[in-house]
Copies of this chain bind each other. A is one copy, B any other.
Protein backbone atom coordinates (compact mmCIF):
# COMPACT_ATOMS: atom_id res chain seq x y z
CA UNK A 1 0.00 0.00 0.00
CA UNK A 2 1.38 3.37 -1.08
CA UNK A 3 0.61 6.24 1.33
CA UNK A 4 -0.04 9.59 -0.27
CA UNK A 5 -0.12 13.10 1.14
CA UNK A 6 -2.01 15.81 -0.70
CA UNK A 7 -0.50 19.31 -0.55
CA UNK A 8 -3.16 21.76 -1.68
CA UNK A 9 -6.85 20.86 -1.43
CA UNK A 10 -8.22 23.17 -4.12
CA UNK A 11 -9.74 22.06 -7.39
CA UNK A 12 -6.71 20.28 -8.78
CA UNK A 13 -5.87 18.63 -5.45
CA UNK A 14 -9.40 17.28 -5.33
CA UNK A 15 -9.04 15.91 -8.86
CA UNK A 16 -5.87 14.05 -7.97
CA UNK A 17 -7.38 12.77 -4.70
CA UNK A 18 -10.35 11.45 -6.65
CA UNK A 19 -7.99 9.57 -8.96
CA UNK A 20 -6.09 8.04 -6.07
CA UNK A 21 -9.31 6.85 -4.42
CA UNK A 22 -10.09 4.81 -7.54
CA UNK A 23 -6.69 3.12 -7.70
CA UNK A 24 -6.04 -0.10 -5.80
CA UNK A 25 -2.89 -0.22 -3.72
CA UNK A 26 -2.75 3.44 -2.79
CA UNK A 27 -4.49 5.55 -0.14
CA UNK A 28 -4.50 9.15 0.98
CA UNK A 29 -3.27 9.34 4.54
CA UNK A 30 -3.03 13.09 4.99
CA UNK A 31 -3.89 16.39 3.39
CA UNK A 32 -2.71 19.97 3.89
CA UNK A 33 -3.95 23.36 2.77
CA UNK A 34 -3.48 26.98 3.77
CA UNK A 35 -7.22 27.13 4.45
CA UNK A 36 -8.87 24.82 6.97
CA UNK A 37 -12.21 24.25 5.17
CA UNK A 38 -11.03 22.65 1.93
CA UNK A 39 -8.53 20.59 3.90
CA UNK A 40 -11.22 19.29 6.25
CA UNK A 41 -13.57 18.53 3.37
CA UNK A 42 -11.00 16.60 1.38
CA UNK A 43 -9.82 14.76 4.49
CA UNK A 44 -13.37 13.65 5.23
CA UNK A 45 -13.98 12.56 1.65
CA UNK A 46 -10.70 10.62 1.55
CA UNK A 47 -10.57 9.12 5.04
CA UNK A 48 -7.38 11.11 5.74
CA UNK A 49 -6.17 13.48 8.44
CA UNK A 50 -5.35 17.19 8.12
CA UNK A 51 -1.78 18.23 8.80
CA UNK A 52 0.55 21.15 8.23
CA UNK A 53 2.50 20.98 4.98
CA UNK A 54 5.93 20.34 6.44
CA UNK A 55 4.54 18.01 9.08
CA UNK A 56 2.83 16.05 6.29
CA UNK A 57 5.99 15.90 4.22
CA UNK A 58 7.96 14.50 7.13
CA UNK A 59 5.26 12.12 8.25
CA UNK A 60 6.35 8.49 8.33
CA UNK A 61 3.12 7.29 6.72
CA UNK A 62 3.55 9.44 3.64
CA UNK A 63 5.47 7.83 0.79
CA UNK A 64 4.66 10.33 -1.89
CA UNK A 65 3.32 13.89 -2.05
CA UNK A 66 1.04 15.49 -4.59
CA UNK A 67 1.85 19.21 -4.86
CA UNK A 68 -1.17 21.17 -6.01
CA UNK A 69 -0.52 24.42 -4.15
CA UNK A 70 0.05 27.86 -5.68
CA UNK A 71 3.10 27.94 -7.95
CA UNK A 72 5.18 30.21 -5.69
CA UNK A 73 5.12 27.58 -2.92
CA UNK A 74 6.40 24.74 -5.12
CA UNK A 75 10.07 25.61 -4.60
CA UNK A 76 10.04 25.16 -0.84
CA UNK A 77 7.77 22.11 -0.89
CA UNK A 78 9.92 20.37 -3.49
CA UNK A 79 13.05 21.03 -1.47
CA UNK A 80 11.41 19.76 1.71
CA UNK A 81 9.93 16.66 0.09
CA UNK A 82 13.21 15.83 -1.64
CA UNK A 83 15.07 16.22 1.65
CA UNK A 84 12.54 13.91 3.28
CA UNK A 85 13.05 11.32 0.51
CA UNK A 86 9.46 11.44 -0.69
CA UNK A 87 8.31 10.78 -4.24
CA UNK A 88 6.95 13.97 -5.78
CA UNK A 89 4.02 14.55 -8.11
CA UNK A 90 4.17 18.29 -8.86
CA UNK A 91 1.65 20.39 -10.75
CA UNK A 92 2.96 22.47 -13.61
CA UNK A 93 4.65 24.86 -13.74
CA UNK A 94 7.36 23.69 -11.39
CA UNK A 95 8.24 27.34 -10.88
CA UNK A 96 7.95 30.58 -12.84
CA UNK A 97 11.72 31.00 -12.88
CA UNK A 98 13.97 28.69 -14.86
CA UNK A 99 16.81 29.44 -12.47
CA UNK A 100 14.75 28.33 -9.49
CA UNK A 101 13.67 25.18 -11.35
CA UNK A 102 17.36 24.40 -11.82
CA UNK A 103 17.77 24.66 -8.04
CA UNK A 104 14.89 22.22 -7.61
CA UNK A 105 16.48 19.85 -10.12
CA UNK A 106 19.64 19.79 -8.01
CA UNK A 107 17.66 19.03 -4.86
CA UNK A 108 15.68 16.26 -6.53
CA UNK A 109 18.73 14.72 -8.17
CA UNK A 110 20.71 14.87 -4.94
CA UNK A 111 17.89 13.11 -3.08
CA UNK A 112 17.25 10.66 -5.92
CA UNK A 113 13.49 10.82 -5.40
CA UNK A 114 10.94 10.04 -8.14
CA UNK A 115 9.51 13.24 -9.65
CA UNK A 116 6.68 13.78 -12.12
CA UNK A 117 5.90 17.16 -13.64
CA UNK A 118 2.15 16.98 -14.14
CA UNK A 119 1.84 17.76 -17.82
CA UNK A 120 -1.45 15.90 -17.82
CA UNK A 121 -2.07 16.12 -21.58
CA UNK A 122 0.69 13.60 -22.26
CA UNK A 123 -1.65 11.10 -20.55
CA UNK A 124 -4.77 11.96 -22.54
CA UNK A 125 -5.71 8.67 -24.24
CA UNK A 126 -6.02 10.42 -27.60
CA UNK A 127 -2.75 12.32 -27.49
CA UNK A 128 -0.93 9.36 -25.92
CA UNK A 129 -2.22 7.15 -28.73
CA UNK A 130 -1.09 9.70 -31.31
CA UNK A 131 2.38 9.96 -29.78
CA UNK A 132 2.74 6.19 -29.50
CA UNK A 133 1.94 5.82 -33.17
CA UNK A 134 4.56 8.39 -34.13
CA UNK A 135 7.02 6.43 -32.00
CA UNK A 136 5.88 3.23 -33.73
CA UNK A 137 6.79 4.87 -37.05
CA UNK A 138 3.28 4.79 -38.47
CA UNK A 139 3.83 8.04 -40.39
CA UNK A 140 7.60 8.08 -40.82
CA UNK A 141 9.85 10.92 -39.71
CA UNK A 142 7.95 13.89 -38.30
CA UNK A 143 7.99 17.04 -40.45
CA UNK A 144 5.35 19.46 -39.13
CA UNK A 145 3.55 19.41 -35.77
CA UNK A 146 0.50 21.65 -35.39
CA UNK A 147 -1.02 22.20 -31.97
CA UNK A 148 -4.12 24.26 -31.33
CA UNK A 149 -5.38 25.11 -27.88
CA UNK A 150 -8.22 27.49 -27.14
CA UNK A 151 -9.88 28.04 -23.77
CA UNK A 152 -13.66 28.50 -23.79
CA UNK A 153 -13.38 31.93 -22.14
CA UNK A 154 -10.69 34.13 -20.61
CA UNK A 155 -9.99 33.92 -16.88
CA UNK A 156 -10.51 36.98 -14.63
CA UNK A 157 -8.04 39.80 -15.08
CA UNK A 158 -6.80 39.16 -11.54
CA UNK A 159 -5.76 35.67 -12.65
CA UNK A 160 -4.12 37.04 -15.80
CA UNK A 161 -2.09 39.49 -13.73
CA UNK A 162 -0.48 36.78 -11.62
CA UNK A 163 -0.36 34.09 -14.32
CA UNK A 164 3.06 34.82 -15.76
CA UNK A 165 1.43 35.55 -19.10
CA UNK A 166 -0.16 33.42 -21.80
CA UNK A 167 3.06 31.67 -22.82
CA UNK A 168 3.95 30.52 -19.29
CA UNK A 169 0.40 29.90 -18.09
CA UNK A 170 -1.40 28.43 -21.09
CA UNK A 171 0.95 27.68 -23.96
CA UNK A 172 3.36 25.87 -21.65
CA UNK A 173 1.15 22.80 -22.06
CA UNK A 174 1.48 23.03 -25.83
CA UNK A 175 5.21 23.64 -25.63
CA UNK A 176 5.58 20.48 -23.57
CA UNK A 177 3.32 18.65 -26.05
CA UNK A 178 5.55 19.85 -28.89
CA UNK A 179 8.57 18.33 -27.16
CA UNK A 180 6.61 15.12 -26.50
CA UNK A 181 5.71 14.80 -30.17
CA UNK A 182 9.04 15.92 -31.63
CA UNK A 183 10.59 12.93 -29.90
CA UNK A 184 13.90 14.23 -28.69
CA UNK A 185 14.56 16.64 -31.54
CA UNK A 186 14.65 19.76 -29.36
CA UNK A 187 13.49 23.16 -30.62
CA UNK A 188 16.41 25.50 -31.26
CA UNK A 189 14.42 28.56 -32.31
CA UNK A 190 11.17 30.15 -31.15
CA UNK A 191 9.23 32.87 -32.94
CA UNK A 192 6.10 34.27 -31.30
CA UNK A 193 3.43 36.71 -32.26
CA UNK A 194 0.34 37.70 -30.36
CA UNK A 195 -2.17 40.38 -29.48
CA UNK A 196 -5.04 41.15 -27.13
CA UNK A 197 -7.93 40.52 -29.49
CA UNK A 198 -10.34 38.99 -26.98
CA UNK A 199 -10.25 41.61 -24.25
CA UNK A 200 -8.38 44.93 -24.27
CA UNK A 201 -8.09 44.64 -20.48
CA UNK A 202 -5.78 41.68 -21.01
CA UNK A 203 -3.62 43.88 -23.20
CA UNK A 204 -3.73 46.61 -20.56
CA UNK A 205 -2.48 44.02 -18.07
CA UNK A 206 0.56 43.51 -20.29
CA UNK A 207 -0.50 40.15 -21.69
CA UNK A 208 -1.89 38.76 -24.96
CA UNK A 209 -4.93 36.51 -25.36
CA UNK A 210 -4.27 35.32 -28.90
CA UNK A 211 -0.90 34.01 -29.99
CA UNK A 212 0.92 31.90 -32.52
CA UNK A 213 4.37 30.40 -32.24
CA UNK A 214 6.70 28.62 -34.64
CA UNK A 215 9.34 26.32 -33.19
CA UNK A 216 12.10 24.90 -35.36
CA UNK A 217 14.46 22.08 -34.51
CA UNK A 218 18.07 21.63 -35.53
CA UNK A 219 17.05 19.10 -38.18
CA UNK A 220 14.46 21.48 -39.67
CA UNK A 221 11.28 20.06 -38.15
CA UNK A 222 8.60 22.69 -37.65
CA UNK A 223 6.01 23.09 -34.91
CA UNK A 224 3.13 25.57 -35.17
CA UNK A 225 1.22 26.41 -32.00
CA UNK A 226 -1.79 28.69 -31.75
CA UNK A 227 -3.60 29.76 -28.59
CA UNK A 228 -6.61 31.82 -27.77
CA UNK A 229 -8.40 32.59 -24.53
CA UNK A 230 -11.75 32.24 -26.34
CA UNK A 231 -13.70 29.53 -28.19
CA UNK A 232 -17.48 29.78 -28.35
CA UNK A 233 -17.84 26.07 -29.17
CA UNK A 234 -16.06 24.63 -26.13
CA UNK A 235 -12.51 23.80 -25.15
CA UNK A 236 -10.64 23.36 -28.43
CA UNK A 237 -7.76 20.92 -28.09
CA UNK A 238 -6.38 19.52 -31.31
CA UNK A 239 -3.13 18.11 -32.60
CA UNK A 240 -2.02 17.30 -36.12
CA UNK A 241 1.31 15.76 -37.04
CA UNK A 242 2.63 15.33 -40.55
CA UNK A 243 5.34 12.81 -41.28
CA UNK A 244 7.06 11.45 -44.32
CA UNK A 245 4.40 8.83 -44.94
CA UNK A 246 1.22 10.40 -43.59
CA UNK A 247 -0.62 12.39 -40.98
CA UNK A 248 -1.96 11.69 -37.50
CA UNK A 249 -4.51 14.02 -35.98
CA UNK A 250 -6.57 14.06 -32.81
CA UNK A 251 -9.92 15.78 -33.01
CA UNK A 252 -11.90 17.32 -30.17
CA UNK A 253 -14.06 15.28 -27.84
CA UNK A 254 -17.63 16.49 -28.19
CA UNK A 255 -20.26 16.60 -25.47
CA UNK A 256 -22.08 13.68 -27.10
CA UNK A 257 -22.33 11.82 -30.41
CA UNK A 258 -25.74 13.14 -31.42
CA UNK A 259 -26.15 14.97 -34.73
CA UNK A 260 -29.23 16.86 -35.83
CA UNK A 261 -30.07 17.50 -39.47
CA UNK A 262 -32.47 20.27 -40.40
CA UNK A 263 -32.73 22.80 -43.19
CA UNK A 264 -29.73 24.50 -41.57
CA UNK A 265 -27.58 21.42 -42.23
CA UNK A 266 -25.97 18.81 -39.97
CA UNK A 267 -25.09 19.92 -36.46
CA UNK A 268 -23.09 18.16 -33.74
CA UNK A 269 -22.65 19.08 -30.10
CA UNK A 270 -20.04 21.57 -28.88
CA UNK A 271 -16.69 20.32 -27.64
CA UNK A 272 -16.46 19.28 -24.01
CA UNK A 273 -16.48 22.49 -22.03
CA UNK A 274 -13.15 22.71 -20.25
CA UNK A 275 -10.19 20.84 -18.86
CA UNK A 276 -11.90 18.99 -16.00
CA UNK A 277 -14.22 17.19 -18.44
CA UNK A 278 -11.84 17.04 -21.40
CA UNK A 279 -8.90 15.68 -19.45
CA UNK A 280 -10.75 13.56 -16.88
CA UNK A 281 -9.25 10.36 -18.28
CA UNK A 282 -5.84 12.02 -18.55
CA UNK A 283 -5.81 12.94 -14.88
CA UNK A 284 -6.66 9.36 -13.89
CA UNK A 285 -4.04 7.89 -16.22
CA UNK A 286 -1.42 10.35 -15.05
CA UNK A 287 -1.87 9.43 -11.40
CA UNK A 288 -2.00 5.71 -12.18
CA UNK A 289 1.26 6.06 -14.08
CA UNK A 290 2.91 7.95 -11.23
CA UNK A 291 1.82 5.52 -8.54
CA UNK A 292 2.84 2.55 -10.65
CA UNK A 293 6.24 4.08 -11.38
CA UNK A 294 6.87 4.89 -7.71
CA UNK A 295 5.99 1.33 -6.77
CA UNK A 296 7.93 -0.37 -9.55
CA UNK A 297 10.87 2.03 -9.84
CA UNK A 298 12.37 3.15 -13.11
CA UNK A 299 12.46 6.50 -14.81
CA UNK A 300 9.52 8.90 -14.86
CA UNK A 301 8.49 11.01 -17.84
CA UNK A 302 7.73 13.92 -17.87
CA UNK A 303 10.29 14.56 -15.16
CA UNK A 304 11.54 17.75 -13.60
CA UNK A 305 13.89 18.41 -16.53
CA UNK A 306 10.86 18.41 -18.82
CA UNK A 307 9.36 21.02 -16.53
CA UNK A 308 12.49 23.15 -17.02
CA UNK A 309 12.56 22.73 -20.81
CA UNK A 310 8.94 23.80 -21.20
CA UNK A 311 9.55 26.82 -18.99
CA UNK A 312 12.57 27.80 -21.09
CA UNK A 313 10.48 27.59 -24.24
CA UNK A 314 7.78 29.74 -22.66
CA UNK A 315 10.39 32.27 -21.58
CA UNK A 316 11.82 32.31 -25.10
CA UNK A 317 8.36 32.82 -26.60
CA UNK A 318 7.69 35.74 -24.30
CA UNK A 319 11.05 37.26 -25.20
CA UNK A 320 10.38 36.74 -28.89
CA UNK A 321 7.07 38.54 -28.67
CA UNK A 322 8.62 41.38 -26.68
CA UNK A 323 11.49 41.86 -29.13
CA UNK A 324 9.78 40.96 -32.40
CA UNK A 325 12.43 38.47 -33.44
CA UNK A 326 13.04 34.73 -33.30
CA UNK A 327 14.89 33.63 -30.16
CA UNK A 328 17.54 30.96 -30.31
CA UNK A 329 17.38 28.37 -27.56
CA UNK A 330 20.99 27.29 -27.87
CA UNK A 331 22.28 30.79 -27.13
CA UNK A 332 19.64 32.28 -24.95
CA UNK A 333 17.46 29.56 -23.47
Interface residues in chain A, defined as those with a beta carbon under 8 Å from any beta carbon in chain B: 125-126, 129-130, 133, 138-139, 141, 143-144, 146, 148, 150, 189, 191, 193-198, 210-212, 214, 216, 219-222, 224, 226, 228, 230-233, 236, 242, 244-254, 256-271, 324-326
- A232-B261, A246-B233, A258-B249 as given contacts; A268 in contact with B266, CB under 8 Å: yes
Closest to A148 in B: B146
Q: How far is the CA of A125 from the CA of B249 in the complex (A)?
A: 25
Contact indicator B212/A222 (Cβ below 8 Å): yes
Contact indicator B261/A197 (Cβ below 8 Å): no
Contact indicator B222/A195 (Cβ below 8 Å): yes
Enumerate the 8 nearest inter-chain pairs by beta-carbon distance, A residue then B residue, closest first.
Answer: A195-B220, A233-B261, A246-B262, A267-B267, A247-B261, A266-B268, A251-B257, A232-B263
Of the candidates B194, B222, B226, B228, the one whose C-beta lies within 8 Å of that of A193 is: B222
- A261-B233, A270-B264 as given contacts; A224 in contact with B250, CB under 8 Å: no
Least CB distance, A166 to chain B, in whole angstroms: 13
- Number of chain copies forming the complex: 4
Contact indicator B191/A228 (Cβ below 8 Å): no
Contact indicator A212/B214 (Cβ below 8 Å): yes
Least CB distance, A25 to chain B, in whole angstroms: 13
Please name all residues of chain B whose beta carbon is closer than 8 Å to the beta carbon of A211 when the two chains form the complex: 222
Contact indicator B129/A256 (Cβ below 8 Å): yes
Contact indicator A226/B233 (Cβ below 8 Å): no
Contact indicator A262/B233 (Cβ below 8 Å): yes
Contact indicator A228/B242 (Cβ below 8 Å): yes
Q: How far is the CA of A195 from the CA of B242 in the complex (A)?
A: 14
Least CB distance, A256 to chain B, in whole angstroms: 5
Of the candidates B138, B210, B224, B324, the one whose C-beta lies within 8 Å of that of A220 is: B210
